Amino acid sequence: MHIGYDIDGVLTKRDYTHVSRLGVRGIFALLQKYFPQVIENWTLSQPLQDDIEIAREIASKHKISIITARPELMQPYTAQWLKNIAHIEYDNLYCVGLKSKFSERKLKLAQDLEIDVFLDDTLKTIELFEANGINAHKFETWQEVKEYMDRL
């Protein structure tokens, strides 16, 4: 099975995408220009969700595509975080950015990649995926995802 999921709010406890997107884009632009080390430190130190070993177990059994609204400039740091801190195996990593309609860009990638199930913590994204024929599930906990996956 090909599973896709978001990072912030799914693998991490923090979700900056729930803050004003315009404000976040401005902050990232300033940090990138004047303090790039802050972005690296932030992306490499976020806490993991509880029961993250379930995500690792799922990744060991399925094809995984991670599609996040993180800015593209964060992709190398995110890949490093996934490998060295989260220890999550994956097949594809896409940072679609916080520009408007990021849920639509996530959907387009999921369709192109032929994802079977997508996990996200944002109801708007879940509804968009479902409306376009992709089985999507609102993330609450990894234990709950495990139970959901067992029913599929």
**List of residues 6+ apart from 31 with CB closer than 8 A:** 38, 39
Tell me the per-residue pLDDT of 23-66, one tens digit each, with 9 for 90 and over.
Answer: 666 666 666 677 777 767 766 667 788 899 999 999 999 999 99
**Separation in Å, CA 24 to CA 32, 71, 72, 99, 121:** 12, 10, 14, 10, 18
Q: Cα(109)–Cα(116) distance, rounded to whole angstroms? A: 12
Q: For residue range 107-151, what is the model confidence (pLDDT) as tens digits?
A: 999 999 999 999 999 999 999 999 999 999 999 999 999 999 999
- Domain containing 87 — which CATH number? 3.40.50.1000
Domain interval for residue 84: 2-151
Give me the number of domains the chain comprises: 1
